[in-house]
Structure formats: structure tokens, C-alpha cells
Amino acid sequence: MPLSEERLAALTRGCNPYQWLAPNDPRNVAIDRMGGRDDSPRGGGWAATLSRRLTRAANAIDGDVLCFFSGLPGSGKTTELRRLAELLAGDGWLPVIVDAEQYIDLNQSIDLPDVLFPVLYEVECAVRGVYGGAWSDQAASWLAALDRWFRDFGVELIGAPEGASWDARAVASLRDRPPIQQQVRDAVAARPALFHAQVVDQLARLQQLARAAPASRRGVVVLFDSLEHLRGTPTSWTAVLSSAEALFVHNREWLRLFLPTLYTVPPQLVLHAQLTVDFMPMVKLHQPGAPGRLAAPGYDALRALVERRIPIDDLRSLFDDVDEAEARRRVDEIVRQSGGYPRVLVQILYELLIAADPAVSEAAFTRCLDRLADRARDTVSFRAESIPWLARVAHRHELKAADEAERAVAVHMVQYNVVLMYLNGRSWWDVHPWIREMPEINAQVAAMERGGQ
């Protein structure tokens, strides 16, 4: 029986590939619990792993913990960070989530004050929330202290531009005030150590207040989300990534706040040997170098994800009243073509629902998948050196660059989600199936296999 227009609309709303899900959303699947502890599709429980990394070390070295976390857009990072925040709160900590998209223009270069001002603002808001009406006037805002410091450099954070006073949130988000933002950046660049000391002093004061609150906490933990979306535009992406490299790789000590802190970072920074990044892997669907050896827990996880979005009876109707076995066969093909990438999986479901008229025949199913593959290939700018490098990744399952030209290719391919990381014991990389199945890449991989490379 065909799906009604109302039902198709409801299913389509539930398959928005760009919507992150709260941990308790009924569409969520506990992917990391599939397969048991030693055969998890993503190499283990990410929220629990990050919680241990942040808090065990904090207990051992008085809070001086700095972690970096990344992954491709739509791989589940934001959901895991919310799950991490729930774990931390349940264990007596005060998790503070800072959303970069609320404060930072992610299409422009980034600098130290762009990151630390929002941290100060959100930590103070969280500590105020713990106290409620008991917040004391003696707990002066961080803004007053920083304003006094910046005035020595001729920068006025608290003023009345155009007759309107600035509050702490306005200062925390300088992206809409480029002239002031540049003055602040210049002042910090002239005295980074002094600025960092001021920030750390204010955070230490807030940490003490959190621990002394009526409902006392073990301490503040900062989780800075959405910085992985620093990508820039086609004309600015080189400058944006260079600024991210400068901040997170070369000047990362200024990001150390002497309380447990996690920053998400652009996935391209995984290429830097100097930076240790916890990278959210894709859902493993097969063993490295053996596409025929399917990883059952990964398939089970993504089958469940599909059916949380579109129940099996609706899938049968969507696929033109096929039997259950045929519906499940098509689900497995969707899973395979996703490459284990959750966002791509949901994107396929979304496009199939849009294509329904009112159902999707087998021919229409194939056309839809082919069209998505063509679109993915058209999005990527393939240089002359791209094909040999991608073939080598597909053959060796390593993300390595022999020179600067190859490094530029690698950055480009990570940015466009062409190469995917998986984890089982050790990490390994592969090329997304839509790109891997290009004849040019297939031919070079076959030549490498014949030559024993």
C-alpha cells in the first residue's frame, strides 16, 4: 500500500542529514554498544572514553588536561559530546558546553581571544546557574577584570558604542564588530602570556566558586564544540585552516586552562604529527583490505539506524510494496554505499523519500544512488596527483603524504569527506565507496595489487 503524502512528509522531516540528535532522541542508536566491548563498530564507547581521559587525568594532575577531538561532519561528534556532558554531570562535575557557531564566524580566520572569551562567558553563566539567586556581588564578572587589562592597550571592551552598552555576551562574540575584534587580537598578540594569565586567573576564581557552591561540584569541565566546522569558503579556506593550525598546533599551550578542557578541531589537523587528536571514526562495515569480510556489528548498527528513521513496514511501502527480504536487501545496499558514514546514510534516506512518487521502484532506487554518487564525485576537484594518492589510500589504508603537494591533496580530500577513518585495534583509512568505485582509481588499485605494492 503506498505511503500517504502526510506519512512521506513526516518521514522526510525525520531524515534531515544536517540535524544532530540529542542522546535521548528516539532516532538515536547506541552504536558503540553493538558488538560488545572488543568488537565495537567504532572501536569503543566514545563518551565514556573521553570522560575517563578528562577526569582521571584531572584528578591526578589538578585539572591541567587538554584534549582535542575531531571527525567528519555528521559522524556523531556533537551527540557524543552531549552524552559526555551527561556522564560528567552524573559524576558530580559541572560540564560547560561552548558552541562555536554561537560566537565565531567559521568562514573566517580564528585567533586566541575568539576562543577564550566565549569560554569565560559560558563558564561564568554555568557557575551563576549553580548559585541561582545566591550569586554574590563580590563574584565580579570576568569582563570587568579583562576590560581593565585591555584598557592598558587602548582597547575598551566595556563602553557605549552608538549609545548601547556592551554586556559580557556581546564581548564574548566579537565577530559582528570587526574593528574591535582586530584591536583585541592585536593586543593579545603583543602580550599572549599576560592575556593567558588573566584568563586562567578568572577561570580559577570561577572554579573555586563552583566547588564552594551550595550544591558543590567536583569542578568545571569545558567542552568546546563545533570548531571542527572551521572550513572557510572557496576563497578563504586556506587562510582559515592556516589560522586553525597556528592556534591548535603551534600555540596550543595558550589553550591550556588548568581545568579539564576539550576542543573540537578541524579534521584536517589529524594530518599533523605534532597534534594528538581523538578522531571519531566511521562505522566499520568490513575488515581493512577485505571488502568481502563484512563486520556484522557495523551492519547491525546502521540497519537499526535506518529502521529508527523509516520502520520496516514503511520501507516495504516506500520500495513499491516489496517483501521484507527485498526491503532488507536494499537497506544493506544503502548501508554499503554509505561507507559507514552516518550523515551519508541519512542523506540517502532523505533523497529516496524525496524521489518517492509515491513509491521508489528498483530502477528509481538505482538511479537515486547513482545520482548521489555522481554528485559526490562532481563536488571534489580532482587534481592530477589526486587519483594516484587516493588509490594508494585505498590499497594501503594509510593517510600519508610524501611531500607538500600530496599533503595539499590529503587536506582537500579530508575536507570533502572523501577519505574515511575506521578503528578496530588500530586506525585505518579508506576511500568512500562513491569515489573508490571510479574506474581510474579501480585501475590503479588493481595495478598496485598485481605489482605487490
The model's pLDDT over 77-93, given as tens digits with 9 standing for 90+, comes to 999 999 999 999 999 99
Does the residue 35 lie in any domain?
A: no
Examine the fold and report which residue of 279, 308, 339 is the final residue of a domain before the chain moves on. 279
Q: Are residues 196 and 60 in the same domain?
A: yes
Residue 29 lies in a domain: no
Q: Residue 209 sits in a domain of what CATH number?
A: 3.40.50
Q: Determine the Cα–Cα distance for residues 88 and 82; give it in Å rounded to an integer.
A: 10
Give residues with Cβ within 8 angstroms of 312, minimum separation 6: 324, 327, 328
Please check whether residue 114 lies inside any domain of the structure.
Answer: yes
Query: Do 242 and 312 fall into the same domain?
Result: no
Confidence at residue 162, expressed as pLDDT on a 0 to 100 scale: 44
Q: What is the rounded CA–CA span in Å between residue 223 and residue 71?
A: 15
Instruction: Examine the domain organization and report whether 219 and 256 are in the same domain.
Output: yes
pLDDT at res. 383: 76
Tally the domains of the chain.
3
* Pair (12, 133) in one structural domain: no
109 in a domain, yes or no?
yes
- Residue 326 CA to its chain's centroid (Å): 34
C-alpha cell belonging to residue 67: 584534549
Rounded CA-CA distance 429/420 in Å is 5
Rounded Cα distance, 45 and 55, in Å: 16
Contact 312, 409 (CB under 8 A): no
Does residue 33 lie in a domain region?
A: no
Q: Do both 225 and 300 map to the same domain?
A: no
Bridge partners, residue 66, by sequence? 261
Would 314 be classed as within a structural domain?
yes
* Sheet containing 261-264, strands listed edge to edge, beginning at the edge strand earlier in sequence: 94-99, 220-225, 261-264, 66-70, 278-279
Q: Which amino acid is at 109?
A: S
The gap from C-alpha 219 to its chain's centroid, in whole angstroms, comes to 25
- Answer for the pair 224, 187: CB distance below 8 angstroms, yes or no: no
Per-residue pLDDT reduced to its tens digit, 188-232: 999 999 999 999 999 999 999 899 887 778 899 999 999 999 988
Query: Containing domain of residue 63, as a range?
Result: 44-279
Cis preceding linkage at 113, omega within 30: no
Structural domain includes residue 112: yes
What single-letter amino acid sits at 438?
M
Looking at the fold, whether 155 and 301 belong to one and the same domain comes out as no
CA-CA distance, 207 to 225, in Å (whole number)? 20
CA 266 remoteness from chain centre: 8
Calculate what percentage of the chain has a pLDDT beyond 90. 66
At 163 the pLDDT is 39
Same domain, 11 and 153: no
Instruction: Give exposure, 276-290, as e/b (b: 16+ Cβ within 10 Å).
Output: ebbbbbbbbbbebee
Cβ contact 305:29 at 8 Å:
yes
Q: Are 143 and 232 in a shared domain?
A: yes
Give which of 269, 266, 255, 200 is closest to 228, Cα–Cα: 266
- Of the residues 379, 413, 443, the one at which a domain ends: 379
pLDDT at 63: 64
Q: Judge if 298 and 365 occupy the same domain.
A: yes
User: What Å distances lie between residue 351 and 145, 309, 341, 366, CA to CA?
Assistant: 52, 13, 16, 12
Cell 568488537 locates to 39
Contact 62, 261 (CB under 8 A): no
Listed as ranges, residues in the chain with pLDDT below 70 are: 58-63, 133-140, 159-166, 289-292, 452-453
The reply to whether 155 and 134 lie within a common domain is yes
338 with 403, same domain: the answer is no
Per-residue cell: 72 = 567528519
Same domain (yes/no): 157, 272: yes
Q: Is residue 30 part of a domain?
A: no
**C-alpha to C-alpha distance for 20 and 83, rounded to whole angstroms:** 12
pLDDT at 7: 97
Indicate the residue among 258, 279, 300 that finishes a domain.
279
The full 3-state SS of the chain, as one line of letters, equals CCCCHHHHHHHHHCCCCCCCCCCCCCCCCCHHHCCCCCCCCCCCCHHHHHHHHHHHHHHHCCCCCEEEEECCCCCCHHHHHHHHHHHHHHCCCEEEEEEHHHCCCCCCCCCHHHHHHHHHHHHHHHHHHHHHHHCCCCCCCHHHHHHHHHHCCCCCCCCCHHHCCCCHHHHHCCCCCHHHHHHHHHHHHHCHHHHHHHHHHHHHHHHHHHHCCCCCCCCEEEEEECHHHCCCCCCCHHHHHHHHHHHHHHCHHHHCCCCCEEEECCHHHHHCCCCCCEECCCCCCEECCEEEEECHHHHHHHHHHHHHHCCHHHHHHHCCCCCHHHHHHHHHHHHHHHCCCHHHHHHHHHHHHHHCCCCCCHHHHHHHHHHHHHHHHHHCCCCCCHHHHHHHHHHHCCCCCCCHHHHHHHHHHHHCCCEEEEEECEEEEEECHHHHCCHHHHHHHHHHHHHCC
Compute the Cα dihedral for 331, 348, 22, 76 and give only its sign: positive
Instruction: Note the residue count of the chain.
Output: 453
